[in-house]
Amino acid sequence: MQQPSLGYVRARLKRGALALTVVSSAAAAHLASSGFLWAHETSMQAASAGAASPRLASSSDNRTSPITGWLIFCHRYPDECTVDPSQPAVIEMTSAIWQTVRTINQRVNRSIKAITDQEHWGVGDRWDYPADGYGDCEDFQLLKRKLLVRHGLPRRALRMTVVIDDEGLGHAVLMMRTTAGEFVLDNKRDAILPPDQTGYTYIKREGDTAAAWVSLGEPSPVATANQ
Average model confidence (pLDDT) across the chain? 77
Q: Using 50, 70 and 90 to split pLDDT, how confident is the model at 217?
A: low
Average pLDDT over residues 198-225: 71
The pairs formed by 82-87 with CB atoms below 8 angstroms and a separation of 24 or more are 82/211, 83/156, 83/206, 83/207, 83/208, 83/209, 83/210, 83/211, 84/154, 84/155, 84/156, 85/156, 85/209, 87/154, 87/155, 87/156, 87/157
Q: What percent of the chain has pLDDT over 90?
A: 56
Pairing between β-strand 201-206 and β-strand 158-164 as defined by DSSP bridges? antiparallel
**Is domain 6-215 given the CATH code 3.10.620 in the classification?**
yes
- Among residues 171, 192, 186, 177, the alpha carbon closest in space to that of 223 is found at 177
Each residue of 49-69: pLDDT tens digit? 332 222 223 344 588 888 889
Q: Is the pLDDT of residue 19 over 80?
A: no
Each residue of 133-151: pLDDT tens digit? 999 999 999 999 999 999 9
Average pLDDT over residues 122-137: 93
